[in-house]
Amino acid sequence: MNTLSRVRPPFYRHLGKLLVALFVLSPLSAREPVEGQHAMVASAQRLASEAGVSVMRAGGNAIDGAVATGFALAVTLPSSGNLGGGGFMIIRTAEGKAVALDFREVAPLGAHRDMYLDENGAPATLRSRQGHLANGVPGTVAGLEHAWKHYGSGKVSWHDIIEPARRIADDGFVMSPFLVQHLYSHRERLAANESSRGKFLRNGDFFTAGEVFRQPDLAATLSRLQAHGAADFYTGKTADLIVQDQVTGGGLITHEDLAVYRPKEREVLRGTYRGYEFLTMPPPSSGGIALTQILGMLESYDLRALRLQSTAYIHLVSEAMRRAFHDRALHLGDPDYYEVPRAQLTDPDYIRQLMHDFEPSQATSSELLVSTIKPPAESMETTHFSTADSAGNVVSCTYTLNGNYGNSVTVAGAGFLMNNEMDDFTAKVGVKNMYGLLQSEANAVHPGKRPLSSMTPTILLKDGQPVLATGASGGPTIITTVLHILLNVIDHKLSLALAADAPRFHHQWQPDRISHEPFLTSPDTLDRLRDMGHEFALRRLYSHESNRMARYFGDAESIMFEPETGLLLGVSDTRYPDAAPAGF
């Protein structure tokens, strides 16, 4: 389409600019955060946030609150809250100690590199996404127990940490319209498993909004965890139920797989940006390195002068995203199995030279960033929560089942879904795929290995004191969502609520396009960017092609420390209707 064919009437031409200006400047667009003097939780479900706060009211710290929230989300957010998944947690204690806790799932000992290829050697996609072969060994229960044992206050018992979640599972909770619609939109996947079909779909007698959802099997599992700790999940009755279900469904997880699972503490990835220090996740998350690279590439530019969502701003930031995601595809994997060049990738001189071929007036073709590797697909369905207390303890945690409702398998008799994290591994190595590109050996399937992830839990510090805890759901857009939150707060001086609400855009090198939310900027700005060589894909809330609920970019759950008042400010993302912070 030529430029003349895109000429618009003056009103329409300036409408987008007006909408952006109203968003940034109008007090009507601002939401008030939830304020707390002592404690704050921001999560994707109100009852889960309140569960974390209740534990902190009883004397617990932010780590205790995070563990309680994690268990409660396993009850109230079945699409991604979990016992049968895994994740990452950044902890920053009041004493200043920083910890990166990796409780990511691992490939079963019986897994092998070519297990997701069919008899013709082609990727068998469904096998790694649905059913018993799709799940890795879960890490959530072990990870949450590790956090509580090593960094909790010591004032709240393990039994009492889990009790809010057990009570919600036993008594039930009122189902929101969003949850009912979400379950219905994924009915085909859930119907494939007998236990899931009975629990979440009532065998075709679908739930309606306002009904009470009770989960007796899950309540019983949580009671066993209260009595016996994580040992029940990995060597006790719950372990027996998992293995029995795996045998019945043809899965690979054995008693040995569960018994040998351990979470890992890793060295926190630290970076700086405009006088702030940020703490984020190292590999096997790709998020921390990608975030460090993008911020490093942008630091020499005056982003505030470019103006939020202007042509120059979107062009510059998307070009930095493009280059970081190119490195992500080339170099990142589980550091226990692949030598990730972490020091080189985060070296300031290396990061600066990544922009050596940046053209202010022309998009870089992703094909010119030479690589034979196609980045693996990654599910959008994770969930994030942040907790903080007035003493200065802060937690940023992202955990997941990977896809919506994981592999769609509910463990019979145990009441929880298993993950489909094996889909995050490279399905086929060394052979060109349908796009003529090779997949990376760094992320190939191997027994005991953790798959690559984009989860990016992050804590921001100023002068050694916590300023912000944030993170998000959304697959690869997690990285850019956290980036947008940081840029909006630091460069554009937006309130935390406005920083979360601002429309987002994302570039991940391949496919070579900018995906964006509605009302990102004016139509003329998009036209100018197209003339510079950019292509665009609009993200909508509902996919008519698949007749399913889609997602805007993932919901960010954030807490800010207000130094002037000492208050904790909690903001949940409006993109997720059931999300809500809680504090006191």
Q: What is the pLDDT of residues 250-309, one digit of tens each?
A: 999 999 999 999 999 999 999 999 999 999 999 999 999 999 999 999 999 999 999 999
Q: Is residue 129 a contact partner of residue 424, using CB atoms and an 8 Å limit? A: no
Q: Is residue 77 a contact partner of residue 48, using CB atoms and an 8 Å limit? A: yes
Q: Is residue 398 a contact partner of residue 69, using CB atoms and an 8 Å limit? A: no
DSSP string, 53-86: HHHHHTT--HHHHHHHHHHHHHHH-TTT--SB-E
Q: Residues 6 or more apart from 523 whose CB is under 8 A from it?
A: 8, 12, 13, 15, 16
No. of helices (H) and no. of strands (E), the chain: 20, 21
Q: What is the pLDDT of residues 332-364, one digit of tens each?
A: 777 887 778 888 899 999 999 999 999 999 999
| Centroid of chain to Cα 82 | 13
Lowest mean pLDDT among 22-36, 43-57, 430-444, 448-462: 430-444
- Phi, psi at 24, each rounded to 5°: -75, -35
Q: In CATH, what class is 33-172+214-584?
A: alpha beta
Q: Does residue 480 register a pLDDT over 70?
A: yes
Q: Find where tokens 């939109």 sit.
A: 185
pLDDT of residue 30: 60
pLDDT of residue 377: 55
pLDDT of residue 428: 60
| Bond preceding residue 348 cis, omega within 30 of 0 | no
Percent of the chain with pLDDT over 90: 74
Q: Does residue 28 register a pLDDT over 80?
A: no
Burial 151-161 (b: 16+ CB within 10 A, else e): bbbeebebebb
Work out the number of other CB atoms within 10 angstroms of the CB of residue 378: 22
Q: Residues 6 or more apart from 463 whose CB is under 8 A from it?
A: none
- Label residue 379 by pLDDT band (50, 70, 90): low
- Catalytic residue selected from 221, 280, 382, 521: 382
Measured distance CA(320)–CA(314) in Å, rounded: 10
For the chain, give the mean pLDDT: 88
Q: Does residue 67 register a pLDDT over 80?
A: yes
Per-residue pLDDT, averaged over 482-510, amounts to: 96
* 76 part of the active site: no
Sheet holding 580-583, edge to edge: 264-266, 98-103, 86-92, 394-402, 381-389, 39-43, 580-583
Measured distance CA(291)–CA(273) in Å, rounded: 11
Per-residue pLDDT, averaged over 442-471, amounts to: 90
Q: In terms of C-beta density within 10 A (0-12 exposed, 13-18 middle, 19 or more buried), how is residue 270 classed?
A: middle
pLDDT of residue 43: 98
Long-range CB contacts (< 8 A, 24+ apart) of 194-199? 194/412, 195/245, 195/409, 195/410, 195/411, 195/412, 196/405, 196/408, 196/409, 196/410, 196/417, 199/410, 199/415
Percent of the chain with pLDDT over 70: 88
Q: Does residue 542 register a pLDDT over 90?
A: no
Q: Are strands 536-538 and 514-516 parallel, antiparallel or unpaired?
A: parallel
Q: Does residue 151 register a pLDDT over 70?
A: yes
User: What letter would DSSP give residue 469?
Assistant: E
- Phi, psi at 88, each rounded to 5°: -135, 145
**Nearest-10 Cα torsion for 152, 158, 160, 166:** 120
Q: Is residue 485 a contact partner of residue 470, using CB atoms and an 8 Å limit? A: yes
Q: Does residue 4 register a pLDDT over 90?
A: no
Token pair in block for residue 185: 């939109």
Lowest mean pLDDT among 215-229, 318-332, 367-381: 367-381
- Label residue 240 by pLDDT band (50, 70, 90): very high
Q: Is residue 460 a contact partner of residue 416, using CB atoms and an 8 Å limit? A: no
What residue ranges do the domains of the chain occupy?
33-172+214-584
Token pair in block for residue 568: 């904790």
Work out the number of other CB atoms within 10 angstroms of the CB of residue 563: 11
Token pair in block for residue 90: 């950044």
> What residue spans of 40-193 are helical by DSSP H?
46-57, 62-76, 140-151, 158-171, 177-185, 187-191
- Label residue 545 by pLDDT band (50, 70, 90): very low
Per-residue pLDDT, averaged over 428-434, amounts to: 42
More confident site: 434 or 402: 402
Q: Are strands 567-571 and 34-36 parallel, antiparallel or unpaired?
A: antiparallel
Q: Does residue 438 register a pLDDT over 50?
A: no
